[in-house]
Amino acid sequence: MIALTLTEITEIVGGELHSTPTTLSASDTVSGLVDTDSRLIQPGDIFVAKPGEVTDGHNFVGTALAAGAALALTERVVDEDIAQIVVADVVVAIADLARAVVARVRAAGDLKVVGITGSNGKTTTKNMLNAILSAQAETVAPRASFNNHVGAPLTILRTTYDTRFLIIEMGASHVGDIARLVSIAKPDVGIVLKVGLAHAGEFGGVERTVLAKSEMVTELTPSDVAILNADDYRVMGMADKTVARVRTFAMDTDQATFGARGVESTRTGTDFVLHTESGAEYPVHLRILGEHHVYNALAALSAADALGIALEDAIAALGTLARAERWRMEVLGGRDDVTIINDAYNASPDSMAAAIRTLAQITPRDRRTVAVLGVMTELGEIAGDEYDRIALQLVRLNISQLVVVGQAARRLHITAINEGSWDGESVYCEEADAAFEYLSTAIRPGDTVLVKSSNSAGLRLLGDRLGEFFTC
């Protein structure tokens, strides 16, 4: 974070400073990182004592102090010998602090901010863009999937006066969530990847999801850039809701700013030809598996181009990215030519369908495909229909074997086995341990295995076990 005095921070967050002769005082400055996790605190950092559903951050102020924290943001005075700024709501306070920090950095230099949202692909696009921009200048990007009302401000607060690019991943559970993040970061470039069925149950329907995602572009200015997925009609409808300059990306179309042609997916990566509206073409190689990641690459390249990065440099940087993210289309295994694709960090109907298509596309015709699938959460009343749709896709693509894990996903198993035309096999396992015992003997040499579920199912750990089991 930029250096600020305790007086400045107190004024920004509207709090009350409590200090002692042995702690920092009002005129002292802090410039460390800001975090809600006491385990990540380093000397000079600021600890945010955020109350939670399971535990209360105020109980860990002492732990943060022992780790070297210089200041604590709290909602009540804690009996620890550390300077404390007491506020009504620490989450609101870090948002206010983030807003002030990014504004000061922007005023002092040439900071450019990119916001990314969408039902799928945010983290992968963030990682792709981070690979491109960090090769050019100091870049701040979220760790893991820090994209909510807490994670995004914490990311912004890592910005310093040396930061040239700031990437913010913006997720949402409700209408208004992205608008709040946009009001803090004020992106120069806003990317909307896709409006899908992820969290549709929580939002109350896909149209509410559209409204939430459109908040990315509605507050952009005429000098800003909105980057929209031209293959998603719901996203393209947002072009009429922004005054920003609109750039588009799409597959196999001449109507977009950036398009992809000749997409080829194998077990070693994904290749395509980038086609620009000027007619220029560039070969692109991704080490990341899956045709669906071409959309993320197009979005990242479009943003880089809008920021003045040469496409040749951006494409070269993309080629260095070994994986989308931990547990996202992560390739493991290798023994007996067995490929394990661990994509079990999250799952929506769209991302699960894309992963299954990739499984079918990258597997040679003479080899078997195995899909190990678990629950897709937050679908609400549409869950049953979406499980049926995924099951029929498995049948249509002739996936060699299906292994369904967990009661919440059992409908996948039932629908698949009820499809009489399918000559594959479906196996149901109540728990991941049972699935591992089955798969450790059922997987054959040369098989390609996809492990896919929402994070809560824990199948990412099953994927890791399988990857280790089949490691050379």
Whether the Cβ atoms of residue 324 and residue 355 lie closer than 8 Å to each other: no
346 assigned to a ligand binding site: no
pLDDT in tens, 278-314: 999 999 999 998 888 999 999 999 999 999 999 999 9
452 assigned to a ligand binding site: no
Residue 186 has pLDDT above 70, yes or no: yes
pLDDT for the residue numbered 182: 96
Give the C-alpha separation, 266 to 261, whole Å: 16
pLDDT for the residue numbered 206: 77
Whether the Cβ atoms of residue 147 and residue 156 lie closer than 8 Å to each other: no
Would you say residue 197 lies in a domain?
yes
Question: Is the same domain home to 459 and 385?
Answer: yes
Residues across the chain: 472
- The confidence band for 72, taking pLDDT boundaries of 50, 70 and 90, is very high
Distances in whole angstroms, Cα of residue 413 to Cα of each of 205, 403, 438, 460: 26, 8, 16, 20
Q: Which of 88-97, 129-138, 145-154, 174-183 has the lowest mean pLDDT?
A: 145-154
Whether the Cβ atoms of residue 311 and residue 326 lie closer than 8 Å to each other: no
> Containing H/E element for 5?
strand 4-5
pLDDT in tens, 357-373: 999 999 999 999 999 99
Rg over alpha carbons for the chain, rounded to the nearest Å, is 24
Q: Which of 290, 318, 346 is the last residue of a domain?
A: 318
Residue 169 has pLDDT above 60, yes or no: yes
Q: CATH code at 228?
A: 3.40.1190.10
Question: Is the same domain home to 153 and 245?
Answer: yes
- Mean pLDDT value across residues 230-253: 94
Would you say residue 323 lies in a domain?
no
Average pLDDT, the chain: 93
Total domains present in the chain: 3
Question: Is the same domain home to 122 and 190?
Answer: yes
Question: Is the same domain home to 312 and 336?
Answer: no
Question: Is the same domain home to 63 and 36?
Answer: yes
pLDDT for the residue numbered 391: 93
pLDDT for the residue numbered 325: 75
pLDDT in tens, 317-339: 999 998 777 888 899 999 999 99
Residue 106 token pair: 């922007």
213 assigned to a ligand binding site: no
pLDDT for the residue numbered 47: 98
More confident residue, 234 or 325: 234
Whether the Cβ atoms of residue 239 and residue 220 lie closer than 8 Å to each other: no
- 364, burial (CB in 10 Å: exposed 0-12, middle 13-18, buried 19+): exposed
pLDDT for the residue numbered 420: 63
119 assigned to a ligand binding site: yes
Question: Is the same domain home to 213 and 291?
Answer: yes
Residue 139 has pLDDT above 60, yes or no: yes
Would you say residue 242 lies in a domain?
yes
Residue 199 has pLDDT above 60, yes or no: no
- Mean pLDDT value across residues 52-69: 94
Whether the Cβ atoms of residue 333 and residue 342 lie closer than 8 Å to each other: no
Question: Is the same domain home to 150 and 113?
Answer: yes
> Containing H/E element for 403?
strand 401-405
Residues 6+ apart with CB under 8 A from 198: 119, 120, 346, 348, 349, 350, 351, 378
pLDDT for the residue numbered 362: 93
- Mean pLDDT value across residues 210-235: 95
127 assigned to a ligand binding site: no
Distances in whole angstroms, Cα of residue 315 to Cα of each of 112, 256, 274: 20, 18, 10
Would you say residue 192 lies in a domain?
yes
Q: CATH code at 387?
A: 3.90.190.20
Q: Whole-prediction pTM value?
A: 0.85
186 assigned to a ligand binding site: no
pLDDT for the residue numbered 197: 59
- Mean pLDDT value across residues 220-236: 96
- The confidence band for 252, taking pLDDT boundaries of 50, 70 and 90, is low
- The confidence band for 201, taking pLDDT boundaries of 50, 70 and 90, is low
Q: Which of 318, 347, 363 is the last residue of a domain?
A: 318
Would you say residue 406 lies in a domain?
yes
Would you say residue 324 lies in a domain?
no
Give the C-alpha separation, 244 to 219, whole Å: 9
183 assigned to a ligand binding site: no
Q: Which of 42-46, 194-198, 367-371, 386-390 has the lowest mean pLDDT?
A: 194-198
Q: At what angle do helices 292-306 and 349-362 cross, to 10 degrees?
A: 110
- The confidence band for 84, taking pLDDT boundaries of 50, 70 and 90, is very high
Question: Is the same domain home to 464 and 380?
Answer: yes
Domain carrying residue 341: 330-469
Question: Is the same domain home to 127 and 58?
Answer: no
Place of tokens 């709090």: 15
Give the C-alpha separation, 364 to 446, whole Å: 9
pLDDT in tens, 12-31: 999 999 999 999 999 999 99
pLDDT for the residue numbered 172: 83
Q: Which of 48, 70, 88 is the last residue of a domain?
A: 88
Q: CATH code at 69?
A: 3.40.1390.10
Would you say residue 19 lies in a domain?
yes
Ramachandran category for residue 266: left, alpha or beta (phi over 0 → left; psi -120 to 50 → alpha): beta
Question: Is the same domain home to 314 and 347?
Answer: no
- Mean pLDDT value across residues 149-156: 94
Would you say residue 244 lies in a domain?
yes
- The confidence band for 203, taking pLDDT boundaries of 50, 70 and 90, is low
pLDDT in tens, 396-436: 999 999 999 999 999 999 999 887 666 667 999 999 999 99
More confident residue, 229 or 201: 229
Question: Is the same domain home to 76 and 114?
Answer: no
Q: Return the percentage of the chain with pLDDT > 70, whole number.
A: 96
Question: Is the same domain home to 107 and 71?
Answer: no
